[in-house]
Amino acid sequence: MRGLERIILAAEPGVRNQALDALCRGLSTEELLAECEALERLRESRENLYERVRSLFFLAAIHRYHMPGRAGVAAQGRVPFSGYTHLLQRRFEEAIREFLEAQREQGPNDAVSSALAAAYKGLAFQTLADQVRRSVRSVRGNQWMFRTGHPADYPLRLRPELTGRDEAAGSYPVLREATPVRMDLSHSGWSDIFFLGMDFPEGARVLNTSIDLVVRGTGQGEPQPPVEARLRMIDEP
């Protein structure tokens, strides 16, 4: 087992929390390429989501920040057009295979490493997004969102009070909904909160608050919910 594999698979915080930059700085180009090959095998063979995603982020960081400019790494290279096409179409696995083959044929170079960095990063976030999608779909109450093909499939219905026309006014009743502002006090980027939750769940807690607002000095009185929406049936779509 190589050094970066050991960090990802370690249970001891003192081992798994080491900085990638410090470890890569002391490796030769050949050793770093061997670490990348080991990480590639690791991310393909492991079932654990955290281990796969961390391997992908390690690979992305190595090719973005640690391969360019090294001894034995050419400043110029050729990125295969088919791999670039796969990258644009978010077929990251296919792109990675093309770029790795180009690296074997040409030798390590900045151009292919840049392409590999983009593909590995894209695949890492795609893996996280797929996991979130599976989690959402597994909840019975959410499944309608992925199965709605016709307006009749939509599960929400209007209350009977909103479907009767007011003869005096000539229109349907208006439903007014007011709500406070929701604020997330811990973070604004949910992708890494989710990733942190896989590795350190007790540190991934999110604190939310609901806040009413008022402009001081305007005579508006007590704070009110600042978000407001109105709904009314209409005669035509």
User: Which has the higher per-residue pLDDT, 8 or 168?
Assistant: 8
Measured CA distances, 160 to 171, 177, 231 (Å): 15, 17, 14
The pTM for the full model equals 0.71
β-strand partners of 26: none
β-strand partners of 224: 213
pLDDT of residue 58: 96
Distance of alpha carbon 124 from alpha carbon 161, whole angstroms: 49
Let me know: does 80 contact 99? Beta carbons within 8 Å.
yes
Phi, psi of 73 (to 5 degrees): -105, 115
**Pairing outcome for strands 208-211 and 181-184:** antiparallel
Handedness of CA 30, 32, 34, 36 (dihedral sign): negative
**Maximum average pLDDT range among 17-31, 60-74, 123-137:** 60-74
Mean pLDDT within 22-31: 91
**Maximum average pLDDT range among 77-81, 124-128, 129-133, 187-191:** 77-81
- Nearest by Cα to 71 from 31, 126, 22, 23: 31
Distance of alpha carbon 83 from alpha carbon 115, whole angstroms: 9
Let me know: does 212 contact 223? Beta carbons within 8 Å.
yes
Chain segment 125-166, per-residue pLDDT in tens? 999 888 878 888 888 888 777 778 887 777 778 889 998 888
β-strand partners of 171: 166
Written as six digits, the tokens of 121 are 């990063």
Percent of the chain with pLDDT over 70: 92
How remote is the C-alpha of 121 from its chain's centroid?
A: 10
pLDDT of residue 182: 87
Confidence of residue 192 (pLDDT cuts 50, 70, 90): low
3-state secondary structure labels for all residues of 8-56: HHCCCHHHHCCCHHHHHHCCCHHHHHHHHHHHHHHHHHCCCHHHHHHHH
| pLDDT of 86 over the 70 cut | yes
Measured CA distances, 118 to 5, 102, 147, 178 (Å): 21, 15, 33, 43
Written as six digits, the tokens of 102 are 């180009």
